[in-house]
Structure 1
Amino acid sequence: MSTPRIVVLTTGGTISSTTSVTLSDGTSSAVRPALGGSELLRALPVDHPAVRALSEAVVEVVDVYQKDSSQLQPADVDAVTAAVLAALRDGASGIVVVHGTDTLESIALWLQMVCPLADYQCPLAVTGASFAADSAHPDGPKNLADALHFVLQDDSAAAVHVVFAGRVLPAWGVVKIATDQQEAFASVSPGLGLRIPVLPTVTLPLRPTPLLAPDTPLVRIVTSDFGDDGSLLRCAATPSPDNPVRAVVVEALGSGNLPVAAARTLCQLRAAHPEVAVVVTTRVPLGTVQAVYGCPGGGAELAAAGIPLSPYLRASQCRMVMLALLQAGYTAAEIEQVFRAAAQCANAHSSIGR
């Protein structure tokens, strides 16, 4: 049996953050990334089963960058992607990406879409922490140990999972649900797993590997609420030289419903600008988006008008899908058809489940 080769890619985030750095005036700073990957590994709980397993593995640490993930830039996404691809080419049997939680679900889904993990039978875990490394009860060491244990256990899960607070969640449909609790992530549809194709008409991973830094498409997220007159949506979604928007994600209410004025505006914009892709999700953290309600602006009415609803992905992950597909050369009409096919697949899955 060959020796496992585990690659740990660090990017900063709360898991590597401390309050030990002081500002120029001598006062304590806010939390900021300060620890590298080697320091994170030294903090692993000694009684965790991953620690013993790691003694029989080759572990390589690559500090890709060190920043708060709210400051993530397109070049950073490309850097993590390149590091994962390099680890795969160099024979990694498991990869752990240590990342900040603010954009963790975005990077996890991106890596699932663009990295050929199944070709190498290599699982990838993304993890982080809710509490800083020097807090009273840091959760990062256990999360990292759990992630390492996961990628050491079984190469049949050659996909991206978020390992956090004792849970292992597929990248598809994972969402951040809390800012101040250890259980910061959940799955939009816990029964989804990897059993159905979430983007059934797309061949993954996307090849050639999409890059974001050279030319990042403008994909806007617009949130709606009661009484929405559609003016914000019109401002955000109308393309112009100053607003070269390529796609819009609409965060609707409930299971995918919009106030009638906002829904009317959305339909008008799609008719006037068919080159701009549109998808509707919800601002609610958990549960599926479905074409259920037939009131004016309801999900059923939106679907009947040809507007795609995203059943499992929330706004940040919808945006990552659109970014990836745009960079892969998909047109607006093709992107919308991808989401419609996903909704059809989800409906069929729900019918079987009932």
Structure 2
Amino acid sequence: MTSSSAPSAAVTLLTLGGTIFMTQDAPGGHAAPDDDAAARLMGTLVDGVVLTPHEIANVSSSDVRQHHLRAVLERARRAVDEGADGVVLTHGTDTLEESAFLLQRFWDREAPLVVTGAMRPASAPGADGPANLRDAVAVAASPTARGLGVLAVVDGQVHLADQVTKTSSRAISAFASEPSSPVGMVDGADVRVLHRGPGRDAPRPGTLPDHLPRVPTLMAGLDDDLDLLDHLPADAIAGLVIAGVGMGHVSPAAMPRLRRLLRAGVPVVVATRIGSGGTSTHHYAYPGSEVDLLDAGATMAGFLPPAKARLLLQVLLTDGATREEIREAFAAHAS
């Protein structure tokens, strides 16, 4: 408990590690996971909140696996069912938006599940982890955050899982919401919800599968005809995501390769490699444009970036979704 006064809320803290629980071997030196960093952060939390910590793992975000997130989901559900007002998950920032997005597909409680991390190690001057953790606990304990699903809280801002995106590999203010703005802000223990977003997809029943289907992502670019697909048998993958140029375009020479996959029954989703604006369905009709891709049977990702489009397609394929069901699911994220 963080205060001598009567507690006002109970929050469960689940930890997966990340920079927030790393220290440097010397000032300005290499950062690595530190099992003692979590204990040192516990003194920075919100007064009046009973915090119950539970370590899932202490790994970098590049090493987060399906079994980690499955454990997070099951433990978070149990915590809420046993009386927690909310749950906080610490996570490395590199794949934080992906884990938040995937957890959102299955999070079926009114209580918020709040993901946070840090850009600076716990031992660095100006470490942002203590403030981010304090803010995340405040959001998890706040009645105003109920019903918003999975949230990301970083640098005093509250982001919806479906919209949060990492925009800088270095800055403290590394996250933004696309295409909207953050849904809230945190000022000490004061959590202000500015809007409640476009609404949530119905959560899926059950828990995360042990493994997701194999769905690679290819980036389109200048003088790139996706000729790598010539060496990729259709039966080697369950689906494909293209990070297209502009509003979701590929070169005309890439189209026969994509049509081959589509005719073989491989779902192809086209996102954009551009950070904002999303894909289109109607602006251009030249060979390789969004209209040509749609006519061939591809699905446009809308505002979902390639990494989230991949996760959504994998979840849909796990459910045995048809091509039409895949299009309908992505239409909810369309521009």
Q: Sort the TM-score into its range (normalised by shorter chain).
A: 0.7 to 0.9
Mean CA deviation greater in 296-305 or 308-317: 296-305
Identity of aligned residues (%): 30
Say which structure, 1 or 2, has more relative contact order (CA 8 Å, 6+ apart): 1
Q: Which runs of 5+ in 1 are unaligned?
A: 22-27, 45-50, 348-354
Mapped partners of 2:63, 2:323: distance in 1: 28
* Residue equivalent to 2:189: none
2:246 to 251, 254, 274: 254
Mapped partners of 2:310, 2:222: distance in 1: 23
Mapped partners of 1:286, 1:304: distance in 2: 24
* Residue equivalent to 1:352: none
Matches for 1:1-354 after TM superposition, within 5 Å: 3-20=8-25, 30-35=30-35, 36-42=37-43, 44=44, 51=45, 54-118=46-110, 122-153=111-142, 154-190=144-180, 194-197=196-199, 204-211=202-209, 213=210, 215-236=211-232, 238-240=233-235, 243=236, 245-271=237-263, 273-274=264-265, 276-291=266-281, 292-339=283-330, 341-342=331-332, 346-347=334-335
TM superposition shift of 1:280: 0.6
Determine if contact 2:18/2:33 at 8 Å carries over to the other structure.
Answer: yes
Q: Which runs of 5+ in 2 are unaligned?
A: 1-5, 184-195
Q: May I ask how many residue pairs the two structures share in their alignment? A: 314
Determine if contact 1:64/1:83 at 8 Å carries over to the other structure.
Answer: no
Determine if contact 2:252/2:287 at 8 Å carries over to the other structure.
Answer: yes
TM superposition shift of 1:96: 0.9
Determine if contact 1:198/1:342 at 8 Å carries over to the other structure.
Answer: no
TM superposition shift of 1:75: 1.5
Secondary structure (helix, strand or coil) at the match of 2:308 reads helix
CA-atom RMSD in angstroms? 2.4
Structure 1 pair 63–322 and aligned structure 2 pair: CA distance change class (3 A): same
Determine if contact 2:176/2:182 at 8 Å carries over to the other structure.
Answer: no
Structure 1 pair 7–287 and aligned structure 2 pair: CA distance change class (3 A): same
Mapped partners of 1:34, 1:234: distance in 2: 45
* Residues 80-136 of structure 1 deviation map (CA, whole Å, 9 limit, x = unaligned): 222212222222101111100111011101111101122xxx012111011111122
* Residues 293-329 of structure 1 deviation map (CA, whole Å, 9 limit, x = unaligned): 2222112322333321111211111122122222333
Determine if contact 2:69/2:208 at 8 Å carries over to the other structure.
Answer: no
| TM-score when normalising by structure 2 | 0.86
| TM-score when normalising by structure 1 | 0.81
In structure 2, give the amino acid aligned to 1:338.
Answer: A
* Residues 226-258 of structure 1 deviation map (CA, whole Å, 9 limit, x = unaligned): 11122123444x333xx3x11111100112111
Mapped partners of 2:316, 2:32: distance in 1: 33
TM superposition shift of 1:192: 9.3
Mapped partners of 2:9, 2:170: distance in 1: 35
Determine if contact 1:277/1:333 at 8 Å carries over to the other structure.
Answer: no
